[in-house]
Copies of this chain bind each other. A is one copy, B any other.
């Protein structure tokens, strides 16, 4: 069953699919564009949920659950939002199956008003919020929902873009613009912190341009990560909705003077897509590489024994002891006692991205030590049994830090300022007609370039090179410059890149 993983060099897209397959993260499903998240992949999502949920709740956010279905008329209410979302969606039109003539089941009982499977929940939530909120005392309202959403995507890729995906969507309501602005940024900061500190994926935080912002928002903020093929991946977004939805859905409150006012709102989301980023940021040609803080299994212990029963018992005993010790430190440990060759086991856990492997054999027992192997670098070391409780946690921290630093260095090496269209296209060339998306051409990367601020220029650059403005970074200093395409005046560089 051990299919070889295609190397990144050979075919990056195939490598990504092979890693997912080899690590048993996900599987294709009989429903076009929907994937099955396998236990190892789902355990990563559970860890993501646990940590993010804790971070949201610390700020006062509470979880709730709203219906899967949205009445079609709701999607018609906010014009810009409708433009963006009322397109490729799953539509429920019937509510019964009846026996057809050839023994097949056929849809029956048409609905008066079709229902849309939620692509996002602004409309259904805000309709309700308008009833929940009476006065300023009910604000801020801070709601989050963990759920599935459906967007009818044509081209899908596991985790990165699937028709159905899992996510959290936060929706908050505030009395003032300032509060809503603050909330938008506070949540983006949670996303940044989580992605950098837990997933070890460095990101650049910034604003989306007008053409890339969320349909119905005043502005959108985002975090963008660089993958190993130097393409960008948007890992989370936080939107300031202004009063756009409040006006469409009558989300109003009585202020302290008893005057009725429209509320200010935000929405923000992070999805299973981020598992795609996690995979592509760290993994190698041997398979998945996971940062310890998010790995479902942090340490795997592999006992090695010969034919003697006594030897087996001793080695198993030592492995159990070590597992117990490490578990008591709060680590997630698996002991692999299956009757298989050690090499087979090494190979399997390597593919699954377990950060640390411990080997305990008869000779190790004699020396009261064990062999410890890092998944990320492959480095081996001998660790005395009685120093394991110090060394293993320290090693996990080193790995966590090492992965982040490595990814950060990679991004720095592949991010540069460019000052002319010639320079720009030296890295991201103009795409030729009919060229395959993944054709190797130019070094790619993140290009810090001046842009005049015109949507036309942005669109032209996209049409020519497939590069989009990933974000206008928060921390980019102002400087006078000329648009890389049209030469118009610009005050700030933005990041251009090809993106997932």
Contacts and interface: CB of A to CB of B under 8 A. Distances in A.
A152 B36 contact: no
A36 B128 contact: yes
Nearest to A162: B67
B89 A164 contact: no
A166 to B, nearest CB: 7
A440 interface: no
Interface in A60-106: 62-72, 74-76, 82, 86-97, 103-105
Given A63-B42, A67-B164, A128-B29, A152 B95 contact: yes
A86 B91 contact: no
User: How many copies of this chain does one complex carry?
Assistant: 2
A127 interface: yes
A473 to B, nearest CB: 34
Nearest to A340: B137
A74 B164 CA distance: 19
A264 to B, nearest CB: 21
B37 A64 contact: yes
Q: Chain A: interface residue count, which band?
A: 35 or more
A30 interface: yes
B107 A71 contact: no
A124 interface: yes
Interface string A25-63: 001011100111111001101100000000000000011
Contacts of A37: 64-65
B74 A30 contact: yes
Interface stretch (A110-118, A300-308, A323-331, A384-392): A110-118
Contacts of A86: 97, 105
A143 B42 CA distance: 11
Contacts of A65: 36-37, 42, 45, 166
A148 B147 contact: yes
A82 B131 CA distance: 40
Contact of A164 (B30, B69, B116): B69
A480 B231 CA distance: 76
A281 interface: no
B97 A87 contact: yes
A150 interface: yes
Given A147-B148, A148-B148, A117 B92 contact: yes
Contact of A64 (B38, B96, B117): B38
Interface string A258-281: 000000000000000000000000
A90 B115 contact: yes
Contacts of A70: 31
Most buried by B among A62, A95, A152: A95
Contact of A91 (B89, B97, B148, B166): B97
A164 B70 CA distance: 12
Interface in A122-143: 124, 127-128, 131-132, 143
A335 to B, nearest CB: 14
Contact of A71 (B30, B36, B115): B30
A128 B28 CA distance: 9
A439 to B, nearest CB: 30
Given A38-B64, A65-B36, A67-B164, A97 B117 contact: no
10 contacts: A27-B128, A36-B65, A36-B67, A37-B64, A90-B95, A91-B93, A91-B96, A91-B97, A92-B93, A93-B93
Given A34-B68, A90-B95, 12 more contacts: A30-B74, A31-B69, A31-B71, A31-B124, A36-B65, A36-B66, A39-B143, A65-B166, A87-B97, A88-B96, A93-B93, A147-B148
Interface of A: 27, 29-31, 34-39, 42-43, 45-46, 62-72, 74-76, 82, 86-97, 103-105, 107, 114-117, 124, 127-128, 131-132, 143, 147-148, 150, 152, 164, 166
